[in-house]
Amino acid sequence: MHPFRKAVEDRDERAITALLAENVVFTSPVAFKPYPGKPITAAILRGVLRVFEDFRYVREIADPGGRDHALVFTATVDGREINGCDFLHFDEDGLIDDFTVMVRPLSAAQALSAAMGAQFERIAAEAAAEAGAAAERER
């Protein structure tokens, strides 16, 4: 089992964040433009943990070189079953530098969009706090 899969299935937010590269880019299934950076990506993933119910990975697909992974999942959002896939790319240090999510069906994607939209003020505040803490550590 891939360490990211284990971290998500264990709902281990620290382990999930530790697997993200500083320059990770998160591409949402419901937002127009990608979100660059570890603080916002980690905050979005915490938001997803809050809105997904009955989440489970059902398949794991990896390229022979180990730099690309696809993790197929199912979950429920606001009573709608959602099927999706996390596409992960890993940098030379083994950290996720590209994270793209695709989901279906449309009604579930719309429920996900609404649920995450309701979380977004909290997500933005968490990301800002993380970015500030990271800047302080660098000083």
Domain assignment present for 135: no
Residue 29 has pLDDT above 80, yes or no: yes
Q: Match 């320059």 to its residue by tokens.
A: 23
Residue 136 is assigned to a structural domain of this protein: no
Residue 135 has pLDDT above 80, yes or no: no
Q: Helix, strand, or coil here: 88?
A: strand
**Predicted pLDDT of residue 82:** 96
pLDDT band at residue 138 using 50, 70 and 90 as cut-offs: confident
- CATH number of the domain at 106, please: 3.10.450.50
The 10s digit of each residue's pLDDT in 9-21 is: 999 999 999 999 9
pLDDT of residue 81: 96
Is residue 74 within 8 Å of 82, Cβ to Cβ? yes
- Contact (CB, 8 A) for 99 and 16: no
The reported pLDDT for the residue numbered 131 is 83
User: Does a structural domain hold residue 83?
Assistant: yes
The answer to whether residue 22 sits within a structural domain is: yes
* pLDDT above 80: residue 139: no
Identify the domain containing residue 104 by its residue range: 3-130
Position 15 in a domain: yes
Helix 38-51 to helix 106-138 angle, to the nearest 10 degrees? Answer: 140
* pLDDT score, position 136: 75
More confident residue, 132 or 26: 26
**Count of structural domains, the chain:** 1
Cα 82 from Cα 93, distance rounded (Å) = 32
pTM score of the predicted model? 0.91
Task: For residue range 63-115, list pLDDT tens digits in order.
Answer: 988 899 999 999 999 999 999 999 999 999 999 999 999 999 999 999 999 99
User: 3-class DSSP state for residue 9?
Assistant: helix
pLDDT recorded at residue 32: 85
Residue 120 lies in a domain: yes
Domain assignment present for 139: no
Residue 85 located in a structural domain: yes
